[in-house]
Amino acid sequence: MKINMVALVGLLFLDLILVGIGIALIALVFSLWVVVVSFIASPFLVVVAHFLDFQEFTIWRIVLGSVFAALSFTVILPFAKTATSKVKQLFINYFVFHQQSLYK
């Protein structure tokens, strides 16, 4: 296989432009998963904070933590799975395009 030098130069400049977008997409997916984990852990953190005497136990805190956990399981978790698979497929398609355009 022979490397197309013109395509190599063009892809290097394209990669310089797209590297920031790629880092931003990875950061968005990572932050989405951090939100999912923190929402799921919120009712448990309320109970742990009560037993360690960090805060008083009030019913609205446990209710709000349970609402966050339910919201995470029903809405945010499926969205995070879909977003992760779409971003993964986007990167795979870009790498396939990269290989196809680079080699003659």
Give dist(CA 82, CA 56) in Å, integer. Answer: 38
pLDDT of residue 58: 84
Reported as a single tens digit per residue, the pLDDT across 22-37 is 999 999 999 999 999 9
Angle at 46 between CA 40 and CA 52, to 5 degrees: 135
- Average pLDDT in the 96-104 region? 86
pLDDT beyond 90 at 7: no
- The 10s digit of each residue's pLDDT in 44-94 is 998 899 899 888 888 888 899 999 999 999 999 999 999 999 999 999 999
Kindly list the domain boundaries of the chain, sorted by start residue: 5-102
CA 24 – CA 4 distance, rounded (Å): 29
Who contacts 79 (Cβ-Cβ below 8 Å, separation ≥6)? 32
Q: How many residues does the chain have?
A: 104
What is the pLDDT at residue 76?
A: 95
In the prediction, which pLDDT does 88 show?
98
| Both tokens assigned to 34 | 């951090």
Report the pLDDT value the prediction gives residue 102, as an integer from 0 to 100. Answer: 86
**pTM, rounded to two decimals:** 0.82
